[in-house]
Amino acid sequence: MNHIVSKIQNKLTTFFTDNKALAVVESALLFPVLITLSFGIYDLGTAISLSQKVISASQVSADLLTRERTLTMGEITQSLAAARLALDPYNSEDLGFDVVGVKFDEDLIPQECWRYTSENMTPKYVQSSETDGLGGEGEGLVVVTTRYTYTPYFSHALIGTFDLEETSFVRGRKNAFIPMEGDTC
């Protein structure tokens, strides 16, 4: 009986003094945390990259539209197709556009003259506080709002989807206001 007790004591003493098992236990505890952090960093990096691409898409479409003297629906469609290319290699199906032609009246209040909103976008109405000081009477802006609905690859179950949005305010290059074919302004 003493022999069994001393054998158990030896095994327990060896177990508590041996540090080999400690590394395995620490690895088992830290590995899931490190994997979770890696997935989160991947999703965060993708969101930052997409945010920059959404900014580029908004600026590309606004720049292409303000090169014209008068806009047609075909020119708007072409500029938005070019802006979708700014999202490569990401999927552009979740990208929406709201393009508005704004003209300032005699009180410098912005008046919406024309609008194009893509199918996966809700109209964003231009507030006068956003356009203060951006134009005089009779002048105008093309306001392009771009929104991308981002679904994180790994952490979507925790945080769901969220929108990355950018609005560009651009003046016409060739004239003070860029009308659209058939508008009333």
- Please indicate, yes or no, if residue 69 is contained in any of the structural domains: yes
Tokens standing for residue 142 = 């093309």
Q: Which of 23-27, 49-53, 55-59, 112-116 has the lowest mean pLDDT?
A: 23-27
- Please indicate, yes or no, if residue 150 is contained in any of the structural domains: yes
Summarised one tens digit per residue, pLDDT across range 163-173 is: 999 999 999 88
Summarised one tens digit per residue, pLDDT across range 99-139 is: 999 999 898 888 899 999 998 898 888 887 788 888 888 89
- Please indicate, yes or no, if residue 129 is contained in any of the structural domains: yes
Read out DSSP for 126-141? PPTTTSTTS--TT-EE
What per-residue string of b and e applies to 93-104 under the rule 16 or more CB within 10 Å gives b? ebbbbbbbbbbb
Tokens standing for residue 32 = 């899931």
Q: How many domains does the chain have?
A: 1
Summarised one tens digit per residue, pLDDT across range 76-105 is: 999 999 999 999 999 889 999 999 999 998
pTM, entire model? 0.80
- Please indicate, yes or no, if residue 178 is contained in any of the structural domains: no
- Please indicate, yes or no, if residue 86 is contained in any of the structural domains: yes
Quote the CA–CA distance of 147 and 97 in Å, as a whole number. Answer: 7
62 has pLDDT over 80? yes
Summarised one tens digit per residue, pLDDT across range 11-37 is: 778 777 767 777 777 888 899 999 999
- Please indicate, yes or no, if residue 10 is contained in any of the structural domains: yes
Quote the CA–CA distance of 42 and 45 in Å, as a whole number. Answer: 5
In which domain, by residue range, is 49 found?
A: 2-170
- Please indicate, yes or no, if residue 152 is contained in any of the structural domains: yes
- Please indicate, yes or no, if residue 182 is contained in any of the structural domains: no
CA-wise closest residue to 73 among 185, 181, 184, 183: 181
